[in-house]
Amino acid sequence: MVLTLVMGCAQATPTVAPPTPTALPSTPTPTEAPTISVVDDAGRAVEITGVPERIISLAPSNTEVLFALGLGDKVVGVTDLCDYPEEAQEIEKVGFVEINLEKIVDLEPDLVLYIGGTAQLEKTQTMEDLGLTVLVLAPSDIEGIFADIELVGRTTGTEDEAADLVSELRARMDEVLSRVAQAKRQPLVFYELDATDPTRPWTAGPGSFIGALITMAGGVNLGASAEMEWAQFSTEEVIAQDPEIIILGDANYGVTAESVEERPGWGVITAVKGGAIYPIDDTLVSRPGPRIVDGLEELARIIHPELFK
């Protein structure tokens, strides 16, 4: 009887199928960061791997481009002269004329934005030899500035922001050019860069951003007759050409309209007699960055105030 009960219980117990093994999740195959190749203003082919997260700027204009594209939080090093925007003044300084290569390497940048010139290109090679990725920005005109903003956008994953910024800047520039086209005359303008020696002040000559901006703003650049991009003119030469407007790019360094009026011989100049001496923030017109259009607008208001009432 016991045997019969045991057999019955055994027969009554349902058979359970063995569990099906659960498939383990597959490990994703790691993908390499995308690499893009661009050509910088020095004609160098530069490969950028991934989106840069740590950027060093070796020129004030480059710093302004980065901040204008919303990349300020990725900037880990700037030059001693990078003072705009205000936040840039709090970033680690790496020198300027003499850049601190050791500090640059220690900051471990993914990308270094440099400027052009023979001396700079030699340092560019040195930085590349240290394993740094360097992009040279050296625009020669406003269109070059716009192109460089777009170039930085491509290399930093901010193409849309760069396109929007360039579109806005171009619209503002076109507005100035449209107004200036209505001007009835083009006054002669003397732009003073540096009057450390007031008898031979420095001015902007042909090929300079400042000279081009004066022309775009509806003026005639007195310095256009110079042989070089930056030139000194004697008091006698300035008096002989008799500018109708004097713009003080050295106003940031304490030069005033009153100090110009007090210079020996300058009282006969039309601009001095007419009180047409104006200060300007030189960084607006000398830095090849997004604020160059601010500078154009300011020059146009000075040269043709009747068009901007």
Residues 254 and 182 sit within 8 Å (Cβ to Cβ): no
Q: Does residue 121 or residue 215 have the better pLDDT? A: 215
Fold that domain 184-307 belongs to in CATH = Rossmann fold (3.40.50)
In tens, the pLDDT along 173-219 reads: 999 999 999 999 999 999 999 999 999 999 999 999 999 999 999 99
Write down the pLDDT at residue 97: 80
The span from the CA of 239 to the CA of 268, in Å, is 7
Q: How would you label 54-68 residue by residue, b for 16+ Cβ within 10 Å and e otherwise? A: ebbbbbbbbbbbbbb
pLDDT of 302 > 70? The answer is yes
Residue 5 binned pLDDT confidence (cut-offs 50, 70, 90): very low
* DSSP tag of 218: T
Write down the pLDDT at residue 119: 67
Q: Does residue 96 or residue 176 have the better pLDDT? A: 176
Structure tokens at 129: 């030899």
The mean predicted confidence, pLDDT, of the chain is: 90
What are the backbone angles phi and psi of residue 89, rounded to the nearest 5°?
A: -70, -15
pLDDT of 17 > 80? The answer is no
Write down the pLDDT at residue 11: 36
In tens, the pLDDT along 43-57 reads: 999 999 999 999 999
pLDDT of 238 > 50? The answer is yes
H helical segments located in the chain = 2-12, 60-68, 101-106, 118-129, 142-156, 159-180, 209-216, 235-241, 257-261, 270-273, 283-286, 292-303
Write down the pLDDT at residue 14: 38
Structure tokens at 303: 């040269």
Average pLDDT over residues 8-23: 41
Residue 18 binned pLDDT confidence (cut-offs 50, 70, 90): very low
- The CATH label, of 2.120.10.30, 3.30.429.10, 3.30.465.10, 3.40.50.1980, for the domain at 35-176 is 3.40.50.1980
DSSP one-letter string for 229-291: SEEE--HHHHHHH--SEEEETTGGGT--HHHHHTSTTGGGSHHHHTT-EEE--THHHHS-STT
What are the backbone angles phi and psi of residue 33, rounded to the nearest 5°?
A: -60, 140
Write down the pLDDT at residue 289: 97
Residues 186 and 244 sit within 8 Å (Cβ to Cβ): no
Domain with CATH 3.40.50.1980 in the chain: 35-176, 184-307
Reported pTM? 0.87
Residue 34 binned pLDDT confidence (cut-offs 50, 70, 90): confident
In tens, the pLDDT along 239-296 reads: 999 999 999 999 999 999 999 999 999 999 999 999 999 999 999 999 999 999 999 9
What is the sign of the dihedral through the CA atoms of 102, 104, 107 and 111? Answer: negative
Write down the pLDDT at residue 121: 80
CA distances from 2 to 112, 209, 228, 284 (A): 89, 110, 119, 106
